[in-house]
Amino acid sequence: MHNFSVLLKGEMQRLLRYKILQISFVVTLLWLGVLFLIGSEHVGDFVPLFIFMDVSMMTVLLVGANLFFEKQENTLKTLLITPSDFFALIASKFVASLYLGLQSTVFIALFALFMFDVSIAFVWLMMFVLLITFAHTALGFTFTVYVKDFNGLLAFIIFYMFIFAFPSIFYALGILPSSAEVWLMFSPTHASLLMIDFAFGVSVSWWLLVIGSVYLVLLSLFLIRFVVSPKYVETAVRE
């Protein structure tokens, strides 16, 4: 992990300078505004959904935007010719992304708690949010190394959300039998949503949570090892 702390400091400095932190914060404020309008009666249903949107879709989007910015400026390539460990390069970007996810979650959760007295299992929420952001950072990297430009990334994200939304919708509508839920855990979006729901007091069987967590970790590690690592250099060097 040679140079990790220098790299992380750089990432955090750039989150500010490239206004990514600010954009993420404005999006959070938007969620808060919408929650405020929804009012106390239904807010409990929407808080988990908004947190989910922030740590899944926003994470992929911000990771992708960050990588495209850096690719454009050729800085991904420059960092590759420094003595930094390859793993430290990736890890610094992951940690910056985790920070953004946690920050949004904390704001939304505190708002829900103090404005509407929504009950929250904070420790579970933070743990699961870290896991979900981690997985979606890995997905963001994966999508980005496969697409040519930012529009390509947007298309990929929409496609991804669309594909994985279907099974969850069918399940909710009762089209899929309840025994199918274990298979739904293999949809990163379904697993993520279930975990966040759990932190907000929805009863979820523990083994679904275990399957979901293990799956998200394995999926992330698989993507980092077999997709991101081999393709990252190519992405960075391609002009």
Judged by the rule CB under 8 A, the positions of this chain that interact with other proteins are 2-3, 6-7, 10, 13-14, 17-18, 73-75, 77-86, 233-234, 237, 239
In contact, 56 and 158? CB cutoff 8 Å: no
Q: How far apart are the first and last CA of the chain?
A: 27
Smallest separation (angstroms) from other proteins to the CB of 146: 13
Contacts of 237 (CB under 8 A, 6+ apart): 77, 80
41 secondary structure, DSSP code: H
CB nearer other proteins, residue 86 or residue 170? 86
In contact, 220 and 138? CB cutoff 8 Å: yes
Q: Which amino acid is at 10?
A: G
Smallest separation (angstroms) from other proteins to the CB of 103: 20
Q: How far apart are CA 44 and CA 170, in angstroms?
A: 22
CB nearer other proteins, residue 13 or residue 205? 13
CB nearer other proteins, residue 75 or residue 168? 75
CB nearer other proteins, residue 85 or residue 197? 85
Smallest separation (angstroms) from other proteins to the CB of 97: 18
In contact, 53 and 59? CB cutoff 8 Å: no
Smallest separation (angstroms) from other proteins to the CB of 226: 16
Smallest separation (angstroms) from other proteins to the CB of 234: 7
Smallest separation (angstroms) from other proteins to the CB of 197: 39
CB nearer other proteins, residue 59 or residue 235? 235
Q: Which amino acid is at 175?
A: I
CA angle at 70 for the pair 84 and 146, rounded to the nearest 5°: 95
CB nearer other proteins, residue 37 or residue 81? 81
In contact, 184 and 168? CB cutoff 8 Å: yes
